[in-house]
Amino acid sequence: MIKRTLNVNGVDRMVIAAPTASLATVLRENLGLTSVKVGCDQGQCGACTVYMDGKLVRSCTRKFSKVDNGANILTLEGIGTPDCLHPIQIAWMAYGAAQCGFCSPGFIVSTYALLEDNPEPTREEIRDWFQKHRNACRCTGYKPLVDAVMAAAEVLRGEKDLDDLIFEIPEDGRIWGTKFPRPSAIAKVTGTWDFGADLGIRLPQGSLRCALVQAEVSHAKILGIDTSEAEKMPGVFKVVTHKDIKGKNRITGLITFPTNLGDGWDRPILCDEKIFQYGDAIAIVCADTDEHAKAAAAKVKVDLEQLPEYMSAPAAMADDAIEIHPGTPNVYYTQKVAKGAETGPIFDKADVVVEGNYYTQRQPHMPIEPDVGFAYQDENGKLFIHSKSIGLHLHLYMIAPGLGVEPENLALVQNPTGGTFGYKFSPTMEALVGAAALATGRPVYLNYTWYQQQTYTGKRSPFITWLRYAATKEGKLLAMETDWTVDHGPYSEFGDLLTLRGAQYIGAGYDIPAIRGEGRTVCTNHAWGAAFRGYGAPESEFPSEVLMDELAEKLGMDPFDLRFKNVYRKGSTTPTGQDPEVYSLPEMMEKLKPKYEEAKKLAAAKSTPEIKRGVGISVGVYGAGLDGPDSSEVDAELNADGTVTIYSCWEDHGQGADMGVLGTAHEALRPLNLEPEDILLVMNDTSLAPNSGPAGGSRSQVMAGQATINACQQLVKAMKKADGSFRSYDEMVAEKLPLRYNGKWTAPASNCDENGQGNPFCCYMYGVFLSEVAVELATGKTTVEGMTVVADIGVVNNILVVDGQIYGGVAQGIGLALSEDYEDIKKHSTMVGAGFPYIKQIPDKFEIIYVQTPRPDGPFGASGVGEMPLTAPHAAVINAIYNACGVRIRELPALPEKVLAGLKAKS
């Protein structure tokens, strides 16, 4: 141990710690300064940034022994507090710069240092600063962060009044459709929003720290597990294996389709017979410290018999491939699509036919906050599991049988959560910490390293797609044929639903009278397929949007004109045969047209012999909801002081569920004239709030929103007197009227049949994307210089929230187009290796244009938003690359070497 006296946030503090401990750990655990977040723990994300002796330091990589005695350290706690906010923090709130909030402390500290160094930075200087200091954000698309820095700098220079940044409620009292800051904003910008790792530090004495024993091969039989040496290691309380699990030791995938050839019970909690993918959990070491747990985990011996590793769908589909799950074929689900007339004769007579083969990759979610959770039993023996789950009730029923716990004896709670972008639609560590808590009888805590996050959690499932269009010489689409293969990894959960998305979204946005196609789900040994923002649309709309450009070229038409001719209008139907609920795409394209024409002129003017510039467009469509009669429940309760509490499990993974609930409830309770602070939120605890459904598929604003309205309307109706005034709490009690009301809502939708036909969603979201790119001919490097999005997501609940969703979703689309991948387990296990987009990879030139078409079935006319911005922006980028330099990329990502190879092939 070594002793240092540090001046931290203006106060001298004596610290005694191990010399090898990181500065981040010392600040967090010795001094309790939990604004310092540990994300990647490799100096690549900047979440741990502190200001030390006049320099920015990524504290996760600075050893305590390398910190000078007397060092002066500033953390976010020293910049501003909840009751004394710094202008930077207020600007962060005003511009919606804190979404999930995990990266916010590091960015705000970095901004403080920037403005100390340069009080009047340009936007590009701000971007250069964040790039240099590796401040990474996965949620915001960076533009709101730069906006916030510029505004804060103006205030600090005296050019803008601080009050200009503070939101004022309009005279009519309405916050719906405004920039009202989300309820969690103050906590997030002050570092007082406790994420899972922050709560883990505060668990009671006697809590155990967990380390996993994980597979380092992708497919093998387990011949034996020897824990004897590990159990003798210092501090070890217990090594938990499958033998300690009282239930089925399986997580059910909740298979709902009768054509699925598996039973859904294919994913072990702790591997017992086989390893199915790299990183599979084999045992859990529970010890007094992280160090002891990890040291003991290394001593667990696992005897394996290596089996063939099928790391792609074609490999698993080969004639000589063995069944990964014995008794279930590797191709375990098939989905057809059949709409309209037979397509063969149409293609035979069509004026123009185009076809192509396309591939979308295994995109990693790459949240800054790694997976984290803990579990304990309460005084009644009920098991509580806290995690990043975005499907609390869903996960409860997926893991309870495997753990051997009755559902009524299990509760799931969502911790304040750093962005998940969909991977937490699958249970990851929930069953693991549950099993450890039951086996030890102690509270247990597990925090993945970023390497574990990358190697163990689910990824976007790759699609291999063949597609062809038939059209008239005037450009009217006549028919489409398609074939798609989904590499869903080893576990079947939601794989059939994902494959159905191909039938629903290939060709979406266009009036195509006749469609025939078939898709299939394939079991492989690569990372299991988890939900990822857009869930099936980026994989499906990439081929159909790129092929639209190829069709336009063959017809000699402008890609814009071809799309405009074919987008949904009255009389059009979706690929599922459903009538769209609104027909706003022509208006959206008309709004984009002048931007498109201007961008083409600019690209031509700015192109040089060394750097070619181009423009690309695409259309994106997504349904807001889970298929068919999706439903949700929310409660509203009148309190003694006249306030109202909303109980909801609208899970929040950075998208703004707190604001979604507040905005919707406030609008529904307008007759009561409540202030926003009079509406209290009790959220995301299955023991306290009803089943609102998982926060995926952009369903929550529609489903939970309608349930919220229903609950509030019941309460308002009960409170209303015959004269139009409202009963008080005391009057409600005196008249023995209920104080709490359960709101329910079910979508007026139907499931698709075996041919993919039906009315699966009552509300859709529509986007039209314009991308401006520059391609360096010498290297093949592509830079996106501008993005414009025309969005129809219905009536907007909160402008800051939906702006942030669109900026962030499009940024992930740029990453999908150009850099992100998880194919090589070693190479792609770090942020940099996996192609994480930092700020200079995302354009600052970024415009959003809203077309607010009220949805008949949406709450106050709203639809969802989260998935739409990642439906098709990547296709616009790829189309722009071709427009710039004539290279057509059909297999993502469009790495520089791919573009360069295309350039060389042309020459």
Burial class (CB in 10 A: 0-12, 13-18, 19+), 348: exposed
User: What is the torsional sign of CA 834, 839, 841, 843?
Assistant: positive
For the CA atoms of the chain, what is the radius of gyration?
A: 27
Indicate the DSSP class of residue 870.
G
Is the Cβ–Cβ distance between 131 and 840 less than 8 Å? Answer: yes
Given 3-state DSSP classes, what are the helix, strand and coil percentages for the chain, each rounded to the nearest 5? 35, 25, 45
Burial class (CB in 10 A: 0-12, 13-18, 19+), 799: middle
CA 133 to chain centre: 24
Tokens of 218: 């992708």
Spatial CA neighbour of 177 closest among 637, 901, 854, 870: 854
**Strand pairing report for 740-746 and 250-251:** unpaired
Is the Cβ–Cβ distance between 453 and 371 less than 8 Å? Answer: yes
Q: What would the DSSP string read from start to end of 342-364?
A: -HHHHHHH-SEEEEEEEEE----
E strands, 180-319, are 208-214, 220-226, 236-240, 250-251, 267-268, 274-275, 281-287, 301-306
The H or E element containing residue 811 is helix 799-818
Put residue 702 in one of left, alpha, beta given phi > 0 → left and psi -120 to 50 → alpha.
alpha
Which amino acid is it at 173? G
* Helix 123-132 / helix 104-117 crossing angle, nearest 10 deg: 120
Measure the CA–CA gap between 613 and 599, rounded to whole angstroms.
10
Is the Cβ–Cβ distance between 707 and 745 less than 8 Å? Answer: yes
Q: Of 481, 493, 518, 867, which one is the catalytic site residue?
A: 867
Is the Cβ–Cβ distance between 449 and 353 less than 8 Å? Answer: no
Measure the CA–CA gap between 468 and 543, rounded to whole angstroms.
10
Spatial CA neighbour of 861 closest among 797, 806, 813, 814: 797
User: Which residues pair with residue 15 across a beta bridge?
Assistant: 4
Indicate the DSSP class of residue 734.
H
User: Which residues pair with residue 446 across a beta bridge?
Assistant: 373
Is the Cβ–Cβ distance between 498 and 504 less than 8 Å? Answer: no
* Helix 799-818 / helix 873-885 crossing angle, nearest 10 deg: 50
- 147: Cβ–Cβ under 8 A, 6 or more apart, which residues? 95, 97
Is the Cβ–Cβ distance between 847 and 696 less than 8 Å? Answer: no
Measure the CA–CA gap between 155 and 149, rounded to whole angstroms.
10
Spatial strand order of the sheet with 236-240 comes to: 236-240, 281-287, 208-214, 444-447, 372-377, 383-387, 410-414
- Cis bond upstream, residue 893 (ω within 30): yes
Rounded to 5°, the CA angle 612-791-470 comes to: 70
**Strand pairing report for 267-268 and 2-8:** unpaired
Q: How far is CA 357 from CA 372, 505, 682, 824, in A?
A: 39, 17, 49, 22
The answer to whether 590 is a known catalytic residue is no
What is the set of active-site residues? 867
